[in-house]
């Protein structure tokens, strides 16, 4: 059985490949390829769950990783895993693991505020 900590570590490790991609490039990737921009409808079941009822990470959004990486870098009032399918609590826990990895990699990313 995978623990939550192991799950967050695996997700953060998967995002390491995007560690050196500039924010502007990530934003262009997300805006050009995000399927979540059309996937949401008024009857959506909440953050990360479009009207289909399945998290975007499960339906195969082609830019899910880039979106999550960008969101982890730039947390704010509209963050919290909107397109990642993560609850606010999961997003905060993932951010802590992700941030620790980035510090170890020598990166400078702001803390979650």
Domain hosting 42: range is: 4-104
Q: Report the number of distinct structural domains present in the chain.
A: 1
pLDDT of residue 73 exceeding 80: yes
Q: Residues 85, 86, 88, CA angle at the centre, nearest 5°?
A: 135
Domain assignment present for residue 111? The answer is: no
Domain assignment present for residue 73? The answer is: yes
- For helices 88-104 and 4-15, give the axis angle rounded to 10 degrees: 50
**pTM, 2 dp:** 0.72
Amino acid 42: pLDDT: 47
Domain assignment present for residue 110? The answer is: no
Domain assignment present for residue 32? The answer is: yes
pLDDT per residue as tens digits for the range 100-109: 998 888 765 5
Domain assignment present for residue 15? The answer is: yes
């Amino acid at each position: 059985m995978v623990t939550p900590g192991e799950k967050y570590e695996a997700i953060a490790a998967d995002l390491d490949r995007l560690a050196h991609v500039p924010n502007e490039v990530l934003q262009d990737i997300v805006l050009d390829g995000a399927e979540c921009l059309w996937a949401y409808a008024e009857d959506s079941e909440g953050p990360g769950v479009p009207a289909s009822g399945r998290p975007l990470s499960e339906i195969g959004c082609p830019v899910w990783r880039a979106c999550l990486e960008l969101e982890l870098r730039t947390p704010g009032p509209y963050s919290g895993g909107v397109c990642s399918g993560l609850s606010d609590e999961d997003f905060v826990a993932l951010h802590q693991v992700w941030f620790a990895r980035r510090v170890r990699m020598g990166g400078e990313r702001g803390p979650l505020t």
